Amino acid sequence: MNLKQLAHMLALSQTTVSRALNGYPEVNEETRRRVMDAAKRHGYRPNPSARRLATGKSGMIGYVLPTGTAVDIDPHFVEFLSGLGDYARSHELDLVLSPADADDQETTYRRIVANRQVDAVYISSPRPSDSRVALVSTLKIPFIVHGRSEGFDFGYPYLDIDNEGAFHEAARLLVQLGHRRLALINGDDRETFAIHRERGVRRALAASGLTLGERHVCSLVMTEENGYRAARRLLEASDAPTAIACSSLIMALGVVRAVRDLGLSIPGDVSLIAHDDVFPWLKPENFSVPLSTTRSSIRLAGARVAERLAARISGLEEGARGEVWPVDLVVRGSVAGAPA
């Protein structure tokens, strides 16, 4: 059932039917009702390919997925996706993932924009002066960055959490508890979120005249194994930290294992605070010693990104609006006063 048939069966022109369906004003309400009714009754669904060709709009959100045999998709992605899906579902938006060589995403961005394959894109895990952000800003397409880039002389729309503030609070708490040697087990420090977290820790330490030792900050892909290795290296050193801030729950698993392997205890020998993106399958309160966390639901962020993207597509949102969400510090059993 296509427009032509529907129009013919209503003894109307395609123009009128199309307009009636799309809510244009120049059609009699009575006629509109008739059209709407017939459309529903016959299950008419405009062909998206045709509509897209005519309008250039696709009703899809795009995401360039970095891939490669050596590239692993971040497990956080799936949670973000859940949120995105929550919103997208109720607004008939689809999401298209365009896999791209991790080292050359630009080509893909250009392609999906030039082809008008999607109405908007989002960018995640940005780095300072991220080339994707720069590129997409010049392309005429609505977008939002999940996270933040830095060092541009132009603004851009983003949604980020207050990583610096979160880790500042976490470190400040540890310092207040008497800890003097803190360590930070961070994610990839080429990404902005990790930079911000380190900055937060440093600022808190500086406020008490302390510093983050060169060897007390690690930057690694966030796996359990890397958490273990980092913690092990830190704790075996002569100037072992008495408190650790950790960028992910998954790494924290490794940290806990390292602590145990070394015959130490949490929080007796080491206090631990990790960032929690809120996974349904791994909860900080269920760690053998309940884990203190800086918490922010990445799923909610996904939903919000979708919402703002939709707003941008329909022109309801414009300009370089940045949005920064505060992060909760949730104190549980894994922190205590510094050992004597």
Partner DNA sequence: AGAGTCTTCCAAAGCGCTTTGGCTCTCGGG
Partner DNA sequence: CCCGAGAGCCAAAGCGCTTTGGAAGACTCT
Q: Is 232 in the site for a copy of itself (CB under 8 A)?
A: no
Minimum CB separation of residue 240 from a copy of itself in Å reads 21
Cis bond leading into 267, ω under 30°? Answer: yes
Q: 185: helix, coil or strand? A: strand
Q: Is 309 in the site for a copy of itself (CB under 8 A)?
A: no
d(CA 207, CA 305): 35
Amino acid identity of 102? A
d(CA 76, CA 197): 17
Residues 6+ apart with CB under 8 A from 127: 149, 190, 191, 192
Minimum CB separation of residue 56 from a copy of itself in Å reads 8
Position among 222, 230, 231, 270 found at the interface with a copy of itself (CB under 8 A): 222
Q: How far apart are the first and last CA of the chain?
A: 79
The stretch near a copy of itself (CB under 8 A) out of 11-19, 183-191, 204-212, 276-284 is 276-284
Alpha helices in 121-221 (DSSP H): 131-138, 163-176, 192-206
Compute the half-sphere exposure of residue 29: CA atoms within 13 Å on the CB side of its CA: 0
Position among 31, 34, 36, 67 found at the interface with a copy of itself (CB under 8 A): 67
d(CA 298, CA 304): 10
The stretch near a copy of itself (CB under 8 A) out of 74-82, 128-136, 148-156, 164-172 is 74-82
Q: Is 71 in the site for a copy of itself (CB under 8 A)?
A: yes
Q: From the list a copy of itself, DNA, none, pick the one residue 16 interacts with, judged by a Cβ distance below 5 to 8 Å according to partner type.
A: DNA
By C-beta, is 59 or 322 nearer to a copy of itself?
Answer: 59
d(CA 310, CA 329): 31
The stretch near a copy of itself (CB under 8 A) out of 15-23, 126-134, 222-230, 233-241 is 222-230
Residue ranges in contact with a copy of itself by CB under 8 A: 45, 47-50, 52-53, 56, 58, 60, 65, 67-69, 71-75, 77-79, 81-82, 84-86, 88-89, 93-101, 111, 114-117, 222-225, 228, 250, 253-254, 257, 260-261, 279-283, 286, 288
